[in-house]
Amino acid sequence: MPARILDGNLIGEAIQAELAGHIAELKSHGIVPGLAAVLVGDNPASQIYVRNKIAACEKLGLMSERLTPEASITTDELVALIEELNRRDEVDGILVQLPLPPQVDAKRVLMAVDPAKDVDGFHPINVGHLVAQRPGLVPCTPAGVIEILRRSQVPIEGASAAVLGRSDIVGKPVALLLMHAHATVTICHSRTRNLPGVVRQADIVVAAMGRPAMVTPEYVRPGATVIDVGINRLTDAAQVEQIFSHFPERIEEFRARGSILVGDVHPDVRMVAGAITPVPGGVGPLTIAMLMSNTVKAARLRRLKRATASVSP
């Protein structure tokens, strides 16, 4: 029996609808949450990601601003731009779209973001808050993974979870969030011995390796829940026909467009898993929904407390 499809679009829309009340409360105090997105250069994928994030802001009635410095910008110049955004009170969230050009020190740029405006949750202070289970801004994609599981009634407490990938952006924070929700977590990576065998023990699999269709059915215990964080664009016809051999409609889609998206999970895993997120339409919409949530949260923490204090007797 094919796996239940966990629709990220529906879950993301539900989260954004829930934000409406918080946004209305902020606006009643004269506060419009604001997001500044910094997009360096002309990377086509980054342009699409930022455009989708700005569109989500507009849909919710948030202030948004896109800053597009040239790809030749230096680290010092970009840090100066970030520091200017830090000083602007109407900017609650600062998003630096990655990747940055090779001459830019990305870690130094991300460190320059005010932790109170770090809606990506990448600053070491926010990472420390996550580790210590203190209130803070949590990375958007990992937070979205947890929302998918919870809102799909997938039990986390007591479950065994395998996280494939150990990046600072997804693998490590999602492992922490799963542990905080009382799962038993194994972090796997390219040097894990008997990787398929280790992953096959898990009730929940989170795939974030950045390798197209790497997780095949042999990795997945029948009935397990599989969250596919990967997003890879394929343009090679032979590769597409091999991966989607049991999904002729996807091959036709590729022939019509000349490219197709696939996650880190092989589509045949749908025949084994109990539940699975699609690509596209799975984790991606949750990343944007949690970015909106973090922007509203940052505005509440930064400005609402100050606004309500000023009218207190």
Q: How confident is the model at residue 304 (pLDDT cuts 50, 70, 90)?
A: confident
Catalytic site residue from 92, 118, 120, 228: 120
Choosing from 16, 92, 97, 203, the catalytic residue is 97
Q: Which amino acid is at 256?
A: A
- The per-residue pLDDT for 188 is 97
All residues at 6 or more sequence positions from 49 whose CB lies less than 8 Å from its CB, including other chains: 97
Can you give the pTM of this predicted structure? 0.94
Q: Which of 262, 261, 265 is nearest to 209 (CA)?
A: 265
Residue with tokens 């215990």: 221
Stated as kind and residue range, the H or E segment containing 225 is strand 225-228
Q: Where are the domains of the chain?
A: 29-115, 140-286
Average pLDDT over residues 109-136: 96
Of 16, 53, 172, 203, the active-site residue reads: 53
53 is catalytic: yes
Q: Is 140-286 in the same CATH topology as 29-115?
A: yes
* Residues forming beta bridges with residue 184, ordered by sequence position: 160
194: left (phi over 0), alpha (psi -120 to 50) or beta: left
As assigned by CATH, the class of the 140-286 domain is alpha beta
Residue 12 host element (H or E): helix 8-28
Stretch 111-119: mean pLDDT, rounded? 97
Return the biggest CA–CA distance within the chain.
71
Which whole number is the average pLDDT over 270-278? 98
| Residue 227 pLDDT class (50, 70, 90 cuts) | very high
The sign of the dihedral angle between the CA atoms of 186, 189, 192, 195 is positive
Q: Could you confirm whether 168 is annotated as catalytic?
A: no
The verdict on whether 97 is a catalytic residue reads yes
pLDDT reading at 78 higher than 80 = yes
Whole-Å CA distances, 70 to 43, 177, 206, 218: 11, 36, 36, 46
Q: Could you give the 3-state DSSP secondary structure of residue 132? A: coil
User: What's the rounded mean pLDDT across residues 69-81?
Assistant: 97
Q: Is the pLDDT of residue 72 over 90?
A: yes
**Amino acid 224: pLDDT:** 98
Q: What is the pLDDT of residue 309?
A: 64
**Confidence (pLDDT) at 43:** 85
Contacts of 138 (CB under 8 A, 6+ apart): 121, 126, 130, 173, 177, 290, 294
Nearest to 68 by CA among 101, 90, 91: 101
What is the per-residue pLDDT for 134?
94
Percent of the chain with pLDDT over 90: 92
Examine the pLDDT at 312 and tell me if it is beyond 90.
no
Tell me which architecture the domain covering 29-115 has in CATH: 3-Layer(aba) Sandwich (3.40)
pLDDT band at 45 (very low <50, low <70, confident <90, very high): confident
DSSP 170-212: THHHHHHHHHHTT-EEEEE-TT-TTHHHHHTT-SEEEE-S--T
Q: What is the mean pLDDT of residues 115-132?
A: 96
What pLDDT does residue 1 have? Answer: 81
Flag whether pLDDT at 311 surpasses 60. no
Q: Which residues contact 32 (CB under 8 A, 6 or more apart)?
A: 26, 61, 62, 63, 90
